[in-house]
Amino acid sequence: MSDCIFCKIASNEIPSTVVYEDDLVIAFDDLNPQAPVHTLVIPKAHHENIIDGVPAETLAAMTHAVAEVARIKGLDEGFRVISNKGEAAGQTVMHFHLHVLGGKPLGEGLI
């Protein structure tokens, strides 16, 4: 999608702090972090949300990217992964993404 900010990040039209990248996904630090570590993992192909027909290969690549982000960021003690679907859930960019949060005890609350 030409007006999607995450598509522009994935195609390097907009700079970001890339943490991990492969052929299918890119992970970059969130500009508005909600924890000491807050990295977003997105598919390079546009999918609006987690139930928008994301191919299994892409989901597997995203899972691998989460593991790589955790390793690179030193999240040995644990981390949280969140995906929002729709505005009512707090999704503000309509391009499927996973939030990887950590770097401090997150407790039992959602965020």
Catalytic residues: 97
SS3 8: helix
pLDDT at 1 over 60: yes
- Report which residue type is found at 57: E
Question: Which pLDDT tens digit goes with each residue over 70-79?
Answer: 999 999 999 9
The 8-class DSSP code of residue 80 comes to E
Overall average pLDDT of the 79-105 stretch: 96
**For the chain, where are the alpha helices, taking DSSP H only?**
5-10, 56-73
> Cα separation of 44 and 24, whole Å?
6
Question: Which pLDDT tens digit goes with each residue over 10-48?
Answer: 999 999 999 999 999 999 999 999 999 999 999 999 999
Tokens representing 4? 């999607």
Domains (range + CATH), the chain: 5-102 (3.30.428.10)
- Number of residues written out for the chain: 111
pTM: 0.95
